[in-house]
Amino acid sequence: IDALFQPKDLAGRKVLITAGPTFEPWDAVRGLTNRSSGKMGWALARAAWERGAEVQLVAGPTALDEPYGVRWVGVETARQMREAVQAALPGVDVFIAAAAVADWRPAAAQPGKLKKQSGEPPPVLYLDTNPDILAEVAARADAPYCVGFAAETDNLAANAQAKRLRKGVPMLIGNIGPQAFGRDDNACVLIDANGMTELPRMDKLALARRILHEIAARLPNDQS
């Protein structure tokens, strides 16, 4: 019901959102991933849809139901996520990178399943660095308004401020990862060129509505 009362200030805007973790295969049954549940990305997609936006969600593997009202594409790896983002990018006004993209992937995914050999030492896992999807989008000449997320474990304010500048994005939302993963609520800080605003702990949908409100207020309104 609350959905009806959200201002339609994103009508005519296209919003692209990444969500969830990525999964980086090591062999046919094993891989690297992380604790992102996708709930914040889903809430952001819903909040953008409520404000009238055309929403495209690109999501890694999660246990969540298909979101209502938004276009959705499922991916597994960071490289697949980057490809789906680039394909969806033309005409996008806002890019929100809520996904917890794996920073590294096993350098060579093994076909089949690695088997234990008795008496052998354990295998060594070599990693390669994944592309930084957000930094790549933000660096484009035709970049949409970009919003990053940062899950930190300590020094939230300083780490998040530094990350906003390093990523070259106008807005970064920072939180303490272990206090957010999998939960239905979260607390965070919103950082932009004007400084930092604390958003107190609230339900992820309420938080997403607040974040979309802040984004909508910052969009240039020259729509042609």
x/- map, 105-134, ligand CTP, by CB under 6 A: -------------------------x-xxx
Tell me how many residues contact Ca ion (CB under 5 A): 1
190 a known binding residue?
no
Strand partners, 16: 56, 95
Q: Binding of Ca ion at residue 103 (CB under 5 A)?
A: yes
Smallest separation, CB 181 to Ca ion (Å): 14
Q: What is the CA radius of gyration of the chain?
A: 18
* Catalytic one of 34, 130, 175, 186: 34
Cα(97)–Cα(72) distance, integer angstroms: 15
Cα(38)–Cα(41) distance, integer angstroms: 5
Q: Binding of ligand CTP at residue 150 (CB under 6 A)?
A: yes
58, 85 Cβ separation under 8 angstroms = yes
User: Is-catalytic flag, 155?
Assistant: no
In the block, which residue shows the tokens 């495209």?
56
- Tell me which stretch binds ligand CTP (CB under 6 A): 7-15, 87-95, 99-107, 181-189: 99-107
Binding residue (CB under 6 A) for ligand CTP from 53, 58, 99, 171: 99
The type of residue at 36 is S
Centroid of chain to Cα 91: 19
Cα(220)–Cα(192) distance, integer angstroms: 15
Q: Binding of ligand CTP at residue 215 (CB under 6 A)?
A: no
List interacting residues with ligand CTP (CB under 6 A).
18, 78, 97, 99, 101, 103, 130, 132-134, 148-151, 163
Q: Which residues are catalytic?
A: 34
